[in-house]
C-alpha cells in the first residue's frame, strides 16, 4: 500500500489543492493507497479543511496534533499510525512539479529504499530567490562532504521510502523539524540502503522575497542538526 503524506502546518492556502492533486496522481498508479494529512498544530483553519477532506473520502486520513510538532515529528507520528509498503511525502505547496510523482513512487516499487527529487543534479530546473538558492547549495555541499552521502539535495520535500526502511530508521531519527530530511538520508546511506536521486522542476511558491527572520531560522535549525549529527557516532 502507498501511504502518500502531506505535512501541513498553517497551509490553508495550499491544502485542498494539494490533496486533490496528490489523490489524482496516486489513484493513477493503480495501487492500494491512503492519503495522509499530517496536520501539525495549525491555527489558520487547516485542521478544519483537513477534517472536511477526510470525511469526504475514506482513503483520506487526517492526523491532527494539538500543538506544532515540526515536520519530522509530524511525519513520524503519522507513519507509526498508518502502515504501508511505500511511504511518500510531498510539500503542501507542491513546489516540485508533480509530473515526477510516478517516478518517485516507481523507484521504491522497483527496488530502491529511498528516492528523492533533486534541485542540484544535472537536468534540474529551479526557480527560487538567489539568496536561498545559494544558502541551500552551500548547506548541501557541507552535508555531502561531512557525511559522504553522495546526495546533492537533502532538503527537498519530495521523497519516498520503502516500508522496511521506515520500520528500521523512523525511531532512530531524533530530529523533530526540517532537519529530519537530512538525518534520514544520512542514516539511510550509512546503513547501506539503496537510494536514487533524480532531477526535478522546482519553483518557489511562497514568494520571491525571503524574510531575513525566516532565513536565519532555517540556518539555525539546519546548523544545529548538522552539529548534533556530526557529534554522534552510534549510526546503527
Other CB atoms within a 10 A radius of the CB of residue 102 amount to: 14
**Catalytic positions, please?**
181
Residue 32 backbone phi and psi in degrees, to 5:
-65, 145
Closest by CA to 5, choosing from 77, 110, 113, 112, is: 77
Distance from C-alpha of 233 to C-alpha of 148, rounded to nearest angstrom: 14
3 state SS of 33: strand
Q: What is the DSSP letter of 202?
A: E
Distance from C-alpha of 168 to C-alpha of 156, rounded to nearest angstrom: 22
Distance from C-alpha of 9 to C-alpha of 1, rounded to nearest angstrom: 25
Amino acid at each position: 500500500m502507498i501511504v502518500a503524506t502531506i505535512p501541513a502546518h498553517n497551509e490553508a492556502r495550499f491544502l485542498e489543492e494539494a490533496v486533490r492533486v496528490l489523490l489524482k496522481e496516486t489513484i493513477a498508479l493503480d495501487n492500494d493507497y491512503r492519503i495522509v494529512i499530517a496536520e501539525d498544530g495549525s491555527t489558520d483553519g487547516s485542521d478544519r479543511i483537513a477534517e472536511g477532506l477526510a470525511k469526504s473520502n475514506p482513503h483520506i486520513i487526517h492526523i491532527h496534533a494539538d500543538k506544532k510538532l515540526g515536520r519530522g515529528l509530524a511525519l513520524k507520528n503519522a507513519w507509526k499510525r498508518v502502515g504501508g509498503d511505500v511511504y511518500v511525502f510531498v510539500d503542501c505547496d507542491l513546489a516540485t512539479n508533480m509530473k515526477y510523482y510516478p517516478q518517485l513512487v516507481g523507484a521504491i516499487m522497483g527496488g530502491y529504499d529511498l528516492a528523492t527529487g533533486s534541485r542540484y543534479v544535472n537536468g534540474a530546473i529551479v526557480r527560487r530567490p538567489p539568496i536561498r538558492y545559494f544558502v541551500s547549495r552551500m548547506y548541501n555541499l557541507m552535508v555531502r562532504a561531512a557525511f559522504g552521502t553522495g546526495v546533492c539535495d537533502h532538503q527537498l520535500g519530495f521523497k519516498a521510502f520503502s516500508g522496511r526502511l521506515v520500520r528500521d530508521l523512523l525511531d532512530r531519527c531524533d530530529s523533530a523539524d526540517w532537519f529530519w530530511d537530512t538525518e534520514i538520508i544520512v542514516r539511510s546511506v550509512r546503513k547501506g540502503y539503496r537510494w536514487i536521486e533524480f532531477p526535478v522542476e522546482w519553483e518557489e511558491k511562497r514568494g520571491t522575497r525571503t524574510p531575513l527572520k525566516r532565513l536565519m531560522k532555517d540556518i539555525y535549525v539546519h546548523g544545529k542538526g548538522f552539529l548534533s549529527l556530526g557529534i554522534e557516532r552510534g549510526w546503527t
